[in-house]
Amino acid sequence: MSKSLGNVISPQDIIKEKGSDILRLWIANTDYTKEMTISDEILTRTSESYRRIRNTIKFLLSNINDYTSDGQIQTEDMPLVDKWILNETQNLQDRVTRYYEEFKFHQITQDIQNFCTIYLGGYYLDIIKDRLYTVKTDSMSRRSCQET
């Protein structure tokens, strides 16, 4: 894009059309050490990523409303799939910490998006829906996925 060619997209236009959160996410996703590119297609993909992350968080929050921390479940007593996602979450946390130390901010948002899309949305959340919706609210199985 070039201002002299008149093909610049102003931040105000992006905010007006897509919202400030989309602009923030695009900036966070972009490697600031290289040339930053923007287009309608990139902003559309950013909007889709934002929607997936937001929907994942909404699902998680909507399923912990009746959770209490009374008598926490020990990790060794959890179903294997809960242990697996806890391990993947710890791996994500370790990578995010390292990326902050290395100033690789774009990598943080990309890894979080992948985690929400692939590990949570594409696998784990589909598996736990049965436990959340059909099992008794005080069952160990349901509480385990809520604690996870």
Domains and CATH numbers, the chain: 11-147 (1.10.730.10)
pTM given for the model: 0.83
Q: State mean pLDDT over 26-53.
A: 91
Distances (CA, A) of 66 to 57, 75, 134, 142, 143: 16, 20, 14, 11, 10
Q: Is the per-residue pLDDT at 3 higher than 60?
A: no
Confidence of residue 6 (pLDDT cuts 50, 70, 90): low
Q: Which long-range contacts (CB under 8 A, 24 or more apart) does 35-42 make?
A: 37/1, 38/1, 38/9, 39/9
Cβ atoms of 115 and 121 within 8 Å: the answer is: no
pLDDT in tens, 93-137: 999 999 999 999 999 999 999 999 999 988 999 999 999 999 998
